[in-house]
Amino acid sequence: MMTNTGNRITQGQFSFLPDLTDAQITAQIKYALKNGWAVSVEYTDDPHPRNTYWEMYGNPMFDLKDPAGILMEIDECRKTFPNHYVRVMAFNSARGIESPAMSFIVNRPENEPGFGLTRQEGPGRQVRYTVTSYAAQKPEGERYS
């Protein structure tokens, strides 16, 4: 998109930064665990910004004490879906909040083709804009192979 050179999608935390290293991911997860949030791993190959519900990779992990277990899960997800987007979510289950507290991408496809902008002329001078991912034009599972 306009401000985002290199077509890298920007969703969640840290997405304008270079990819996080494993050590940095570990530090982030440590923070989540310190706050008592349940961490889960999710993946998708539909990069549209409005695609908020990604597929869960395994169950959310409750009652963990150490990030090593989650890193193991992340690595497994990366191995299974090397060309998908993989993100880590931390869910705050405190009553009244009950929503994701953190979300950041830990794996991206090698080649992100980016988005096209379609302008639709409406009645009068109205213009409707649609963002379409070039990758999503292919069927699911073949988008980044």
Binding site for another protein (CB under 8 A): 58-59, 61, 63-70, 72-73
40 vs 133, beta carbon nearer another protein? 40
Please, what is the minimum distance in Å from the beta carbon of residue 125 to another protein? 57
Nearest of 37, 1, 27, 30 to residue 16 by alpha carbon: 1
Evaluate whether 106 touches 86 at the Cβ level (below 8 Å): yes
Rounded to a whole number of angstroms, the minimum distance from the CB of residue 61 to another protein is 6
Let me know: does 127 contact 121? Beta carbons within 8 Å. Answer: yes
Residue 72 vs 117, nearer CB to another protein: 72
Q: How far apart are CA 62 and CA 67, in angstroms?
A: 12
Considering the complex, state which of residue 72 and residue 94 has its C-beta at the smaller distance from another protein.
72
Residue 84 CA to residue 51 CA, distance in Å, equals 14
Q: How far is the CB of 94 from another protein (least distance, A)?
A: 21
CB of 65 to another protein, least distance (A): 5
Dihedral sign for Cα 7, 140, 53, 56, please: negative
Q: Which is nearer to another protein, 9 or 39 (CB)?
A: 39
